[in-house]
Amino acid sequence: MQRTTLLQEDWWKLRAEATWGNASAGEDLVALRAENDQLRRALAGRAVVDQASGMMMVLTPCSRGTARGLLVDISRQCHTTLPEVAAAMVDVWEGKPMTRPMQRALRHVLRRLYAEDRGCDSPPSDEPSR
């Protein structure tokens, strides 16, 4: 049987829920810290993704959703996470070189975007332009 009680903490005007039963307080604390760390990483990654999306919107006049979709496509082609691709885009803006596979993926998604804008039915070729 599990019993839940709501405790009022006057000093901070916060409410904390204490649970007795299956899980100990130590396990709850560990789980809360892990969740807190995960949320911090997600927020940090989101800020970089938003910044890179804004850069894509400026460089290729497109909507926010299209810009994010381009970044997702690059991450899939490079087999890497979206925050890593976004960080690489921001690093390029700051003068650091982009990896060759990421350059290739960026060229590919931009060609496809421009082909869609022109109304071409054929997919872009993977060969670099000369």
- Write out pLDDT tens, residues 100-128: 999 999 999 999 988 887 776 555 455 44
Q: Which helix (H) or strand (E) covers residue 14, if one does? A: strand 14-20
End-to-end CA distance of the chain: 72
Residue 10 has pLDDT above 70, yes or no: no
> What's the mean pLDDT in 71-94?
93
> Per-residue pLDDT tens for 42-56?
776 688 899 999 999
Residue 6 Cα to chain centre, angstroms:
36
Q: Whole-angstrom Cα distance, residue 83 to residue 51?
A: 10
Classify 119 in phi/psi space as left (phi over 0), alpha (psi -120 to 50) or beta: left
Helix residue ranges, H only, the chain: 25-59, 64-78, 82-93, 100-118
Residue 15 pairs in a beta bridge with 8
Place of tokens 């039963």: 21
pLDDT band at residue 7 under the 50/70/90 scheme: very low
66 burial level (CB within 10 Å; 0-12, 13-18, 19+): middle
Alpha-carbon dihedral 61, 65, 70, 72, rounded to 10 degrees: 160
pTM for this predicted structure: 0.61
Task: Give the lowest-confidence range in 22-36, 54-68, 102-116.
Answer: 22-36
